[in-house]
Amino acid sequence: MAQKSIKKNYIYNLAFQILTLVIPLITTPYLSRVLGADGIGTYSYVEAISSYFVLFATLGLTTFGQREVSYVQDDRKKRTIVFWETCIIQFIASLICIVAYVFFSLMQKDSLLYLVLVINLFSVIANVTWLFQGMEEFGRIVLRNIIFKLLGLAYVFIFVTERDDVIVYLFGVAFFAFLNNLSYWTMLPKFVDRPKLKELHPTRHLKTVFSLFLPTIAISIYTVLDKTMIGIITKDSFENGYYEQAIKMSKVVLSVVTALGVVMIPRIGHYFSHGDTDAVRLSMYRSYRFVWLIGIPLTFGLLSVSSNFVPWFYGPGFDKVVPLLGILGFLILAIGINNVTGIQYLIPTKRQNTFSFTVIIGACCNFLLNLVLIYKYESIGAAIASVLAETIIAFVQLYIVRKELSFIKIIKLGFHYYIAGAVMLAVLLYVRDYFTPSMLNTLYLVVIGATTYFLSLIILRDDFLLSNVNTIFKKVLKRA
């Protein structure tokens, strides 16, 4: 099978990742005003609880399926077996979780709020996007996502009109996600055949699946448990509302960096299955450099522009989102590095147990830090705990792979970007007080920051940036 273009697949997956998070952000100013911070905090808490059941239903199968398919990209028969074996495990796990979730929901005070999200568990059964990711067919994913995300967007503006419409909003988000996942089954005949039951032995994968499930549980500690602990400790839905809006925005920005990870997993897996260690190492160093190139300006940009952005975007009552965004912006660099070392390297090279170990360390640190910091600083404490936990994971992972990937070289790869980022930050901190909060002025600040950053890199003659710009110009001129 001919290899797909990494750059093209990155663009496809970037569109996929951004679309998944940007559509809710398009509705955020509207929802902030209609539902209020308490309404947003309520649906954030309910979603956080339901996501635990989704977590157990998924069992890490998304990563497992993508990786295993990448190993057999060129063999349709093996690919068919892997696909259906993974689907069987996914179906059984989801069915158990559906029954458990329904019982749990019926015992809650606002049972309907919880019950409506059982649709998310049916979405897990229907989800086969990992097949197309493993085949590096990212273009097929994007178009369908655009269609169903736009339908969901229209639904919100038409049907969510009052402060009590939290349940209406929850239903729409879950239902259109389910329809989107279901639509991929129409494309299956091109990639897999009908199953032959006598050839399927799903239990042979259980050990690997559970080893991938461990880091999935641990990751949930600082992606979902944050919200749960804020709700339990502060007993204040407003604090959860502030945190929800800030973490959502930081994830949108983060997706620009992590989109490369999903693209690189099947490619690294393919190189690894063929024993090409030099290609694996070269790809890894390029990924680290990409994180520095893109992550540094995004991190410093959130830190310096949030005070202008938050007031007009979220409306009155969301002032606390400003410092939260400034803190959570550092997740971009920490998770970006973790994504390269853990997701792009340890998982495709079958070292998921090592990956699990590092993530569990971070999760435990996050939990303990949350206990202390949320009591004292509420949502800001949760943000600090998340950044510290991800930073700990980054250092632990880099230490573990130090004999294969040079820590010093990884740090040196970011030298130009540290300088350019510092210059950009200094300029933005100086000029931002001259701009009152507005959409246009936020745009001005973004343009000023981006121009300063990239001009600094051109002055520094950064070969990574210049070579990629040169490649783009050549392709444009060739098509002209």
Better-predicted residue by pLDDT, 336 or 75: 336
Query: What per-residue confidence (pLDDT) applies to 391?
Result: 93
Query: What per-residue confidence (pLDDT) applies to 74?
Result: 76
d(CA 255, CA 14): 7
Is 304 within 8 Å of 425 (Cβ atoms)?
Answer: yes
Better-predicted residue by pLDDT, 273 or 191: 191
- Name the most confidently modeled range: 236-250, 274-288, 331-345: 331-345
Q: How does pLDDT run across 97-141, given as a tens digit for each residue?
A: 999 999 999 998 888 989 999 999 999 999 988 888 778 776 777
| Total of domains in the chain | 1
Query: What per-residue confidence (pLDDT) applies to 5?
Result: 54
- Residue 282 pLDDT > 70, yes or no? yes
d(CA 92, CA 95): 5
Q: Is residue 466 part of a domain?
A: no
Residue 163: CB atoms within 10 Å: 11
Provide, rounded to the nearest whole percent, the portion of the chain with pLDDT above 90. Answer: 34
Is 288 within 8 Å of 410 (Cβ atoms)?
Answer: yes
Distance of CA 201 to the CA centre of its chain: 31
C-alpha triplet 246, 290, 383: angle, nearest 5°: 20
Query: What per-residue confidence (pLDDT) applies to 1?
Result: 47
Name the region of 184 (left: φ>0; alpha: ψ -120 to 50; beta: rest): alpha
d(CA 18, CA 251): 9
d(CA 277, CA 101): 44
Signed CA dihedral, 362, 367, 372, 375: sign only: positive
How confident is residue 7, by pLDDT bands cut at 50, 70 and 90? low
Q: Is residue 452 part of a domain?
A: no
User: For the residues of 458-476, what is the DSSP string, one character each?
Assistant: HHTT-HHHHHHHHHHHHHH
d(CA 313, CA 475): 37
How confident is residue 27, by pLDDT bands cut at 50, 70 and 90? confident
- Name the most confidently modeled range: 148-152, 214-218, 424-428: 424-428
Better-predicted residue by pLDDT, 265 or 51: 51
How confident is residue 233, by pLDDT bands cut at 50, 70 and 90? confident
107: exposed, middle or buried (C-beta count within 10 Å: 0-12, 13-18, 19+)? exposed
Better-predicted residue by pLDDT, 216 or 387: 387
Least confident window among 57-71, 101-115, 160-174, 247-261: 247-261
Q: Is residue 143 part of a domain?
A: yes
How confident is residue 268, by pLDDT bands cut at 50, 70 and 90? low
Average pLDDT of the residues of the chain: 84
Q: Is residue 443 part of a domain?
A: no
Secondary structure E strands in 363-464: none
Q: Which domain holds residue 274?
A: 6-413
Q: What angle separates helix 439-459 from helix 463-479, to the nearest 10 degrees?
A: 110
d(CA 20, CA 146): 9
Specify the 3-state DSSP secondary structure of 247: helix
Query: What per-residue confidence (pLDDT) applies to 2?
Result: 45
Better-predicted residue by pLDDT, 50 or 467: 50
Q: How does pLDDT run across 199-212, given as a tens digit for each residue?
A: 888 888 888 788 77
Is 177 within 8 Å of 25 (Cβ atoms)?
Answer: no
Q: Quick one: average pLDDT of 143-166? A: 86
Distance of CA 123 to the CA centre of its chain: 18
Nearest by Cα to 281 from 179, 349, 229, 331: 349
d(CA 347, CA 343): 5
Query: What per-residue confidence (pLDDT) applies to 223?
Result: 63
Q: How does pLDDT run across 56-67, given as a tens digit for each residue?
A: 888 778 878 888
Query: What per-residue confidence (pLDDT) applies to 165?
Result: 84
Is 356 within 8 Å of 275 (Cβ atoms)?
Answer: no
Q: Quick one: average pLDDT of 417-439? A: 95
Q: Is residue 126 part of a domain?
A: yes
Least confident window among 71-85, 255-269, 327-341, 355-369: 255-269
Query: What per-residue confidence (pLDDT) applies to 480?
Result: 47
d(CA 307, CA 304): 7
Q: Quick one: average pLDDT of 210-232? A: 73
Helix runs in 59-165, H state only: 61-71, 76-106, 111-115, 119-126, 129-134, 138-159
- Residue 189 pLDDT > 50, yes or no? yes
- Residue 265 pLDDT > 60, yes or no? no
Is 338 within 8 Å of 390 (Cβ atoms)?
Answer: yes
Nearest by Cα to 65 from 121, 131, 140, 136: 131
What amino acid is encoded at 432 in this protein? R
How confident is residue 434, by pLDDT bands cut at 50, 70 and 90? very high
Q: pTM of the entire structure?
A: 0.71
- Residue 44 pLDDT > 60, yes or no? yes
Q: How does pLDDT run across 367-383, given as a tens digit for each residue?
A: 899 999 998 898 999 99
What amino acid is encoded at 457 in this protein? L
Better-predicted residue by pLDDT, 94 or 11: 94
Q: What angle separates helix 439-459 from helix 415-431, to the nearest 10 degrees?
A: 140
CA dist 455 to 253, 471, 476, Å? 21, 18, 22
- Residue 146 pLDDT > 60, yes or no? yes
Query: What per-residue confidence (pLDDT) applies to 239?
Result: 85
Q: Quick one: average pLDDT of 36-48? A: 79
Distance of CA 83 to the CA centre of its chain: 24
Better-predicted residue by pLDDT, 238 or 15: 238
- Residue 82 pLDDT > 90, yes or no? no
Is 266 within 8 Å of 69 (Cβ atoms)?
Answer: yes
Is 27 within 8 Å of 156 (Cβ atoms)?
Answer: yes
Name the region of 234 (left: φ>0; alpha: ψ -120 to 50; beta: rest): alpha
Nearest by Cα to 109 from 37, 38, 45: 45
